[in-house]
Amino acid sequence: MTTVTDYGVTADGFVLKPLDVILSESFERARAVFPGADLTGTSALRKLLETAAAEDGELWKRLEDLYYANFLSTAAGDALSLLGEETGLERAALASTGTVHVTLENGLEGRTYVLPEGAVLVTAATGTDPVRAFGTVAAVRLDRDHPGADVDVVAFEPGPDGDVGHETITGIDPAYRSVYLSDLGAADFTVTNPAGTSGGTGREPDAAYRGRLLGLARNLWTVESVAQAALGVGGVLDVVVSDPLGGVDVSQSYFDLFNFDQRAFSSERRVGQPYFFTVVVAHDFRWPWNTTGPVPGVFERVGAAVDAVRPIGVHADIVEADHIEVGVRATLVVVPGSDHTALLSAVRRRLAADIAGLRLGGDVLYARVVSAFVEQPGVLDVQGLRLRRVPAAFGRITFGDVPFQRVIAETAVGENLVMGPTELAVFAPDGDSFDVTVVTG
């Protein structure tokens, strides 16, 4: 066993002095000053030394906190915010959240009307107060027998401006309605928020903020700085920058290989043509790709952010990533008496959290999906588990309008769901892509 004798700031970092060492040193000093002093467990002197040692132990803990507050990887709270301000990247604000009530009016008998997830809801413009936009976080399905439902919403723009009072969210944005709800006929949706929205005054947690600070690009004209600019746009989940010829990153070896007086960057590129690199963007699908009403599109916002850091004459081609809907098909064996509805809800929440952590090109691992099922209380076994992906497919030969076809592809039992480099897995908790049968074991 190694005995530590060097405490405080050392070559290996800060070494905290433990309470027993502080107390033993206090006993030694007391014996040196008061030879023969009574330091048994019932003595008054010992009680005083123990009290003082406890206070000294708290001071050592405070010194440790102050030491590690100087580094991005270990700082927390206000100390991390101060380091971020010195770096030039402040802690981001959170988006306001709340709940609205959606009501169906003039619906036809036997027809179900759907307000999609990500529907743009707006407040009324009053005087100098601009319109605030919110997006729904789940789809709402209504009919004449069930004409009303509550759904959570989140503000598109983070910050305190998204904290609005009750009954201020008044309806669906007209531009969104004209594009996505043009087939309602005589029916219509009315929207109101019984309570105000909140949360816009909050700030992002330490873990997310620290990750952005540690990944901060320290120089311009690099692939990293372009990716950082794109990732700083609200609603962007991940980006992949493709720069094969070094147009953005001048540190690549391509610049040492070209004879500029004899040829262009490549045989296909003619002199005088601008150079393009590709930025593949995966985004929260509640954010529209192109500007819709009061909500600026991800495409325009990423383009503006990248333009601020790209070199002159080098242009970005902003491309939307392929958002692949992911589901499962399985038979779940549970103990008798289990609440099937609550169990499936817990599985959906677990899968949504696991898959939301994936990035562009990240595969959906079979083992993690199995864990999401078998780690739930009351589950005995999961059988015939197959992962599903639902890419969009359109009819190739048709007369008239092109029909939308929903094609479900399944993996074999035990296989991972492999994503392409420009594909992002998105969990689909509802619909036919999530097909789980619960049986009692």
Residues 237 and 179 in one domain: no
Residues 327 and 428 in one domain: yes
Residue 88 resides in a domain: no
- The predicted pLDDT at position 398 comes to 37
300: tokens are: 């325009």
User: Alpha-carbon distance 143 to 51, whole Å?
Assistant: 70
The 3-class secondary structure across 306-359, one letter per residue, is HHCCCCCCEEEEEEECEEEEEEEEEEEEECCCCCHHHHHHHHHHHHHHHHHCCC
Residues pairing with 386 in the sheet = 329
Residues 331 and 427 in one domain: yes
Residue 203 resides in a domain: no
398: tokens are: 């048709």
Q: What is the pLDDT of residues 35-55, one digit of tens each?
A: 888 888 788 888 898 899 999
Number of domains within the chain:
4
Domain that holds residue 115: 97-192
Beta strands per DSSP E along 177-259:
188-192, 236-242
Are residues 283 and 298 in contact, defined by beta-carbon separation less than 8 angstroms?
A: yes
Q: How far is CA 47 from CA 57, 178, 180, 286, in A?
A: 15, 78, 75, 62
Are residues 213 and 206 in contact, defined by beta-carbon separation less than 8 angstroms?
A: no
Residue 89 resides in a domain: no
Residue 387 resides in a domain: yes
**Spans of the chain, pLDDT less than 50:** 1, 260, 262-269, 392-405
- The predicted pLDDT at position 185 comes to 85
Residues 101 and 135 in one domain: yes
Residue 273 resides in a domain: yes
Residues 315 and 369 in one domain: no
Residues 285 and 305 in one domain: yes
- The predicted pLDDT at position 323 comes to 87
Give just the sign of the alpha carbon dihedral 260, 262, 264, 266: negative
- The predicted pLDDT at position 332 comes to 92
Residues 389 and 304 in one domain: no
Residue 79 resides in a domain: no
Residue at a domain's end among 16, 47, 68: 68
- The predicted pLDDT at position 397 comes to 37
Residue at a domain's end among 68, 86, 117: 68
Residues 153 and 252 in one domain: no
Residues 292 and 274 in one domain: yes
Residues 35 and 113 in one domain: no
Residue 82 resides in a domain: no
In a 3-state reduction of DSSP, which class is residue 403? coil
User: Alpha-carbon distance 2 to 206, whole Å?
Assistant: 34
Residue at a domain's end among 257, 292, 320: 320
80: tokens are: 């991390």
Residue 87 resides in a domain: no
In a 3-state reduction of DSSP, which class is residue 383? strand
- The predicted pLDDT at position 259 comes to 52
Residues 334 and 436 in one domain: yes
Task: Flag whether the pTM goes above 0.75.
Answer: no
Residues 352 and 292 in one domain: no
The closest alpha carbon to 193, from 143, 152, 140, 146, belongs to 152
Beta strands per DSSP E along 49-168:
97-105, 113-115, 120-123, 133-136, 140-142, 148-155
What's the one-letter identity of residue 409? A
User: Alpha-carbon distance 307 to 314, whole Å?
Assistant: 9
- The predicted pLDDT at position 266 comes to 44
Are residues 364 and 357 in contact, defined by beta-carbon separation less than 8 angstroms?
A: no
- The predicted pLDDT at position 252 comes to 58
